[in-house]
């Protein structure tokens, strides 16, 4: 079978262009996107007015309204979806969406839940909320982790047996465990952290939010025990990494110039490379990538929708197209394609079919 190949993505990389395209319907207030939340290939966008599901098979969107904003959603059992309600209402807590009828059922009422952390191999779920951290092995029975009672646990990240959680209330602390949560220790020098993210080498990043002299991107090379600053900046909302060890940060819409939108952090040269082309809303709530996609792509959640970027690799770092001396033959290609260029050093090549795959 002949496959039409386009080198358009490569040309974009050589020109240093990073372009965002709409992924969700316009106007969704998107808090978070979670991929493959059931056996029907649904992706879930947690929104301020309900749950938006994108079906990968049909490429159609379905909206399930809620009485409260949804901060997070997760795989449950393959047929139904675990959903958090967080709106300062009596129904706040852990619910599941029964897909057959589109009905939500309450599992555990919690005051101001923030996130769901699912461990598929262990079959365990963690939920951080205003008064602590709960877990369940069957979604019906939920138990407190007593160590965190009366703490506002806002985020949790896991790397093997290394667990890290962040607390934000009258105290700002980071706790870490090197034995899968059996014992916990408070970090001696951790800043206030609102968002945590491990990269693929086990380095941990954290966002110090708001407007203070300590606001910025921080990191830990020993699983949360000790922390160092990467760079200072105010109004950062989130951090993300990808399989190529890139680190991205998302700013709020009230960030001070030049900080805005999404940027890649270059720790070697201590620079931020901004990548906001095509992005109409610069209040970034989440940045992530889909590990199930064959093509490298970033997703970002904003106050007006979810956007996708296929061609961010190498932005602002490679010479322009005129100096690349790019040649490709045959074009269109069948089973093989030959590409030559006049560039020095390494080159990242991205090839997509005509339908973007």
C-alpha triplet 173, 206, 302: angle, nearest 5°: 120
Instruction: Tell me which range, 5-14, 210-219, 322-331, 337-346, is most confidently predicted by mean pLDDT.
Output: 210-219
Query: Could you tell me the sign of the dihedral formed by the alpha carbons of 227, 122, 239, 148, in that order?
Result: negative
Residues 68-78: what's their mean pLDDT? 97
% the chain with pLDDT above 90: 78
Does pLDDT of 108 surpass 80?
A: yes
Q: Which two structure tokens, joined as six digits, stand for 166?
A: 């962040």
Q: What mean pLDDT do residues 335-356 have?
A: 57
H or E element that contains 13: helix 8-15
pLDDT band at 12 (very low <50, low <70, confident <90, very high): very low
Cα dist from 60 to 50, 55, 111, 301, 307, whole Å? 16, 6, 33, 18, 16
Which two tokens mark 2?
A: 């002949």
Q: What is the mean pLDDT of the chain?
A: 88
- Residue 357 has a pLDDT of 42
Give the per-residue pLDDT at 194: 98
**Among 124-138, 194-208, 326-340, which stretch is predicted with the lowest mean pLDDT?**
326-340
CA distance linking residue 242 with residue 249, whole number of Å: 12
What's the pLDDT score for residue 311? 81
pLDDT at 176 > cutoff 90 = yes
| CB contact at 8 A, 37 and 73 | yes
Query: CATH for 23-309, among 3.30.300.180, 3.30.460.10, 2.130.10.10, 3.40.50.2030?
Result: 2.130.10.10
Q: Which residues of 101-137 are buried (b: 16+ CB within 10 A; e: fewer)?
A: eeebeebbebebbbbbbeeeeeeebbbbbbbbbbbbe
Please determine, for residue 54, whether its predicted confidence score (pLDDT) is greater than 60: yes
Mean pLDDT of 309-334: 54
Percent of the chain, pLDDT > 70? Answer: 83
Q: Measured between alpha carbons, how far is 224 from 202 in angstroms, rounded to an integer?
A: 10
Q: Can you give the residue ranges of every domain in the chain?
A: 23-309
On the question of pLDDT at 346 being above 90, the answer is no
Q: What is the pTM of this model?
A: 0.83
Per-residue tokens: 318: 């490679």
Sign of CA dihedral 143, 118, 307, 229: positive
């Amino acid at each position: 079978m002949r496959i039409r190949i386009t080198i358009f993505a490569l040309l974009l990389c050589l020109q240093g262009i990073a372009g965002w395209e709409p992924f969700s319907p316009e106007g969704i207030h998107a808090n978070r996107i979670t991929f493959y939340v059931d056996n029907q290939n649904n992706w879930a966008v947690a929104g301020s007015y309900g749950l938006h599901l994108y079906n990968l098979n049909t490429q159609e969107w379905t909206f399930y309204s809620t009485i409260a904003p949804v901060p997070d959603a997760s795989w449950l059992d393959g047929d139904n979806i675990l959903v958090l309600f967080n709106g300062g209402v009596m129904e706040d807590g852990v619910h599941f969406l029964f897909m057959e009828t589109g009905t939500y059922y309450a599992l555990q009422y919690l005051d101001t839940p923030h996130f769901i952390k699912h461990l598929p191999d262990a079959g365990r779920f963690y939920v951080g909320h205003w008064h602590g951290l709960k877990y369940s092995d069957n979604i019906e029975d939920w138990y407190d982790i007593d160590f965190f009672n009366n703490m506002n646990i806002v985020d949790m990240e896991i790397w093997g047996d290394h667990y890290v959680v962040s607390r934000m209330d009258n105290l700002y602390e980071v706790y870490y465990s090197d034995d899968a949560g059996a014992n916990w220790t408070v970090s001696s020098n951790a800043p206030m952290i609102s968002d945590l993210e491990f990269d693929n080498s086990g380095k941990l990043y954290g966002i110090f939010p708001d407007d203070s002299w300590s606001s910025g991107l921080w990191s830990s090379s020993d699983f949360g025990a000790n922390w160092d600053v990467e760079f200072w900046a105010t109004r950062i909302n989130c951090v993300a990494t990808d399989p190529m060890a890139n680190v991205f940060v998302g700013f709020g819409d009230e960030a001070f110039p030049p900080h805005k939108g999404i940027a890649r952090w270059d720790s070697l040269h201590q620079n931020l490379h901004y990548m906001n082309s095509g992005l109409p809303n610069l209040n970034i709530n989440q940045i992530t990538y889909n590990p199930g996609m064959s093509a490298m792509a970033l997703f970002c959640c904003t106050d007006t929708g979810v956007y996708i970027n296929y061609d961010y690799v190498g932005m602002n770092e490679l010479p322009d197209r005129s100096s690349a001396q790019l040649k490709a033959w045959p074009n269109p290609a069948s089973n093989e394609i030959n590409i030559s260029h006049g560039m020095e050093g390494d080159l990242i090549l991205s090839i997509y079919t005509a339908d973007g795959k």
